[in-house]
Amino acid sequence: MSLGTTDTAAGGRLSQFLGSPVIGMSPWIAMSVIVGPGRFELAVAIALALAVALVVVGRIRRPGSSFKILEIADVVFFAVMAVIGIFASPGTYRWLENYSGEVANIALMAIALGSMACRVPFTLQYAREQVPREFWSDPRFLRTNYYITGAWGAAFAVAAIAGAYGDLVLHNSNNLWTGWIIQIAAIIAALQFTEWYPDVVRARSLRERNLPGPSEPPVSSFLTPLAGYLTPVGILVLAFGAGPVWLGVALILLGVVLVKSMSRPKEAEPDASG
């Protein structure tokens, strides 16, 4: 019995994972992080393979289900990028190596903003697979998806700006800060917001209706992974000489201190009844 329960729970977690909008954005995340001089073909190949795999898995998981905005955008965008790369002149190919990451980031930002403008934020199609139909028209459910879609649009806007600064101002596509650290930080923030904010909305909804349920997750639970990210960033700064030694050491210590502080359980509030 316990084995069957475990399998069911594992299957439910797998289904929830595959139905997450984060999975739909994995090709864009891969492209944003991998692409650079000498890595254009690899980045596009991985992104396109992920996009096609997601469409196939989605149809297997939910036969007859409609295609999602993000699924279509994934395949079309990276297929076009692959074709352009194949037939590009040497000059165009060099341009793609330098700037295709920013193009991909701007494209996903545009998809996020466009889907919101059309009143169908792209995360909504994923969220509807996770909640009963009677909640689909709930203003809180719709608002939550606007916020999450907006968070991803903002994350890729930050990634695009960071990459463009590295390419156009620093003239270094492989700059550790603009090409990796800042862009990964933006993605981590969006990932955390995607996980954290729906729990906040659910807890508030239950509290407003005086129903039992988990308490609202604190902001610290959203910020802890970002604080934890400071430590590996500090290690990278020291390992690659991406800043003064004091900065690397300070980031390592700050990350450790912040994570410990945010992870410390709060003391129970005294009972007002005495």
Task: Round the average pLDDT of the chain to a whole number and report it.
Answer: 86
Confidence of residue 60 (pLDDT cuts 50, 70, 90): confident
Percent of the chain at pLDDT exceeding 90: 57
Q: What is the mean pLDDT of residues 214-238?
A: 94
**Can you give the pLDDT at residue 156?**
92
Residue 201: per-residue pLDDT: 93
Q: Return the number of other C-beta atoms located less than 10 Å from residue 251's C-beta.
A: 21
Residue 167's contacts (CB-CB under 8 Å, 6 or more residues apart) are 98, 99, 102, 173
Q: What is the pLDDT of residue 261?
A: 93
Q: Within 13 Å, how many C-alpha atoms sit on residue 15's CB side? A: 13
- pLDDT of 6 strictly over 60: no
pTM: 0.84
Q: What is the mean pLDDT of residues 92-99?
A: 90
Q: What average pLDDT score do residues 240-264 get?
A: 94
Average of per-residue pLDDT across 162-179: 91
- DSSP single-letter state for residue 66: P
Per-residue model confidence (pLDDT) at position 200: 94
Taking residues 30-46, report their average pLDDT. Answer: 88
Query: How confident is residue 22, by pLDDT bands cut at 50, 70 and 90?
Result: confident
Confidence of residue 9 (pLDDT cuts 50, 70, 90): very low
Report the SS3 class of residue 91: helix
Burial of 150 (0-12, 13-18, 19+ CB in 10 A): middle
Distance of CA 97 to the CA centre of its chain: 23
Are the CB atoms for 51 and 75 separated by under 8 Å? yes
Does an H or E element contain 36, and which?
Answer: none
Find the mean pLDDT for residues 84-109. Answer: 91
